[in-house]
Amino acid sequence: MLTLTKKITRPKPLRVLGLDLSLSPGIAAIEVKGRKPYLVACSSVATSTDDPDAVRNYIVESFVSAFVREHRPFDHVVREDFTSGRNKRATQTIFSSWAAADRALYSYGYQASDLKPALAPTSVKRLVAGNGKAEKKEVADAVRRLLRLGEDYAFKTGYDDSDACAVALAYLIREDLIDTEEVAA
């Protein structure tokens, strides 16, 4: 007699890459299991204004490429939208970092989603920290809470890594892919 057993399958975890792009970018990999987000890794790199833009963009591209290589695969790649620069130079540097990150992503078969509606900085802050005008420390505190990290978990100076986590979390919250009620402040 043949006995059949039912195989129990668990849903595959969802993995999101969040990008906070500038010439000193932040990046984060967040995985969702059972509607709970978990930090896989996050980092940031500071480039020097003493270097020409070509060098700074090469650093951004190399940084994104190394992170993607180490923490792939990803189901979604999301970045904070760029609304407007303070001036022409600020706009140039943001878009050059986007291009550098895009080159790194494309080399692994990824591209940042063209989100509709876009994740504006105020939307990210509102979704994650509850206030569209939240300061970086408030956003970092909300990220720690949503990811169930201890209060002593240290983000890098400048909070670019925390901001990248916030971008990924904002996307997950907006798309109703994670639960936030049980971790409410």
One-letter amino acid of 184: A
- Dihedral sign for Cα 145, 138, 44, 105, please: positive
Q: Which two tokens stand for residue 82?
A: 């760029």
pTM of the model: 0.91
Are the C-beta atoms of residues 98 and 25 closer than 8 Å to each other? no
One-letter amino acid of 181: E
One-letter amino acid of 158: G
CA distance 41 to 29: 5
Question: What pLDDT digit, counting tens, does each position of 14-61 carry?
Answer: 999 999 999 999 999 999 999 999 999 999 999 999 999 999 999 999
Residue 185's pLDDT band, with cuts at 50, 70 and 90, is: very low
